[in-house]
């Protein structure tokens, strides 16, 4: 089983869309995606600086558009679809589109709404997120609770992302147990926590207008790592994950149980392949960062060694 994974916020870098625009049809795709998301993807994906594309309103549409373009090019190059799909956080929207649950333009419309709603929710309080690396899992979670913080992402054993008030995150960095590193993340909000409740309501109203289809490929959910087979359930999970933890650790566990034999991360790639090397040890991986990586990814998708 070959799985394609779509990354989440934070994986974007300045200019990362430029090489994709050299491929036939991509400029037209991005123009349509820009209109749907209400974001100038060409401008921000080729010329905007790191601070600009860190803005949640811009970052989320950029990432989903890149994943859908890279994923589509991979299928064309390989001549086949992957066996399974998953997306980390906002990447779930790209995964839903690839699985046929919703059209790509609807995914872009939703990610534009999602990005704006989450940015608005984050503006109500001074919050943020920090990666917590190492330490005993139970002890780390107990410390987060003591400081009024929430675990927003369970990425892999030994790596949790804490979210909440900036004051609490500062105390976490000061009181981290021996062997634990706390790394502040460049995001403006406590995503995947109760701070995002208002964004949930906004996104739910948007998905209520859609008529989803059941996934055509195996599709794993961030909520609990379960395989989702119902299109309406898939959309509901997209809504509720905005204020609930990302369980990427459980997604990888489910992939192992399904007999994964290859893991491909589409653009803007890198972070999930890094997690896969720890959580899916021995499984060949390819990170599709630019079109130059498509041949290696297509070879893996067709059963050849990475």
User: Any idea which residues carry the catalytic annotation?
Assistant: 89, 192
The closest of 137, 195, 134 to 163, measured between CA atoms, is 195
Closest CA relative to residue 117, chosen from 38, 184, 45? 38
Q: Are strands 285-287 and 262-265 parallel, antiparallel or unpaired?
A: parallel
DSSP 175-243: HPPTT-EEEE-S-SS-TTSGGGHHHHHHHHHHHTT------SSEEB-TTTSPBP--HHHHHHHHHHGGG
How far is residue 35's CA from residue 294's CA, in Å, rounded to a whole number?
27
**Contact (CB, 8 A) for 186 and 225:** no
* SS3 assignment, position 123: coil
Quote the CA–CA distance of 267 and 87 in Å, as a whole number: 12
- Here the tokens at position 162 are 């804490």
Strand partners, 131: 161, 183
Residue by residue, DSSP assigns 240-253 as HGGGS-B-HHHHHH
Q: Residue 281 contacts by C-beta under 8 Å, 6 or more apart in sequence?
A: none
* Cβ burial, residue 103 (10 Å; 0-12/13-18/19+): middle
Q: Can you tell me the distance from the alpha carbon of 161 to that of 127, in angstroms, rounded to the nearest whole number?
A: 13
Nearest of 91, 115, 93, 113 to residue 104 by alpha carbon: 93
């Amino acid at each position: 089983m070959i799985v394609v994974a779509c990354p989440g916020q934070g994986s974007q870098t300045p200019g990362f869309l430029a090489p994709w625009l050299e491929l036939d049809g991509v400029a037209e795709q991005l123009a349509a995606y820009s209109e749907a998301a209400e974001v100038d993807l060409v401008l921000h994906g080729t010329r905007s600086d790191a601070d600009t594309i860190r803005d949640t309103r811009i970052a989320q549409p950029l990432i989903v558009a890149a994943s859908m373009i890279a994923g589509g090019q991979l299928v064309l190059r390989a001549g086949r679809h992957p066996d399974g799909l998953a997306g980390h956080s906002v990447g779930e929207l790209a995964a839903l589109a690839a699985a046929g649950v919703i059209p790509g333009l609807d995914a872009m419309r939703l990610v534009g709404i999602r990005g704006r709603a989450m940015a608005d929710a984050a503006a109500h309080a001074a919050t943020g997120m920090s990666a917590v690396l190492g330490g005993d899992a139970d002890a780390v979670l107990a410390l987060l609770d003591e400081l009024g913080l929430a675990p927003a992402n369970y990425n892999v054993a030994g790596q949790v992302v804490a979210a909440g008030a900036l004051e609490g995150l500062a105390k976490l960095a000061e009181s981290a147990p021996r062997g634990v590193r706390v790394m502040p993340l460049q995001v403006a909000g406590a995503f995947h926590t109760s701070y995002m409740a208002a964004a949930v309501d906004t996104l739910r109203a948007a998905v209520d207008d859609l008529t989803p289809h059941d996934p055509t490929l195996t599709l794993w959910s961030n909520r609990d790592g379960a395989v989702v087979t119902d299109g309406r359930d898939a959309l509901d999970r997209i809504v509720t994950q905005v204020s609930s933890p990302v369980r990427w650790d459980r997604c990888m566990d489910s992939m192992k149980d399904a007999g994964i034999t290859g893991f491909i991360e589409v653009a803007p790639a890198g972070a999930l392949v890094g997690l896969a090397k720890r959580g899916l040890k021995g499984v060949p991986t390819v990170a599709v960062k630019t079109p130059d990586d498509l041949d290696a990814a297509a070879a893996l998708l067709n059963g050849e060694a990475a």
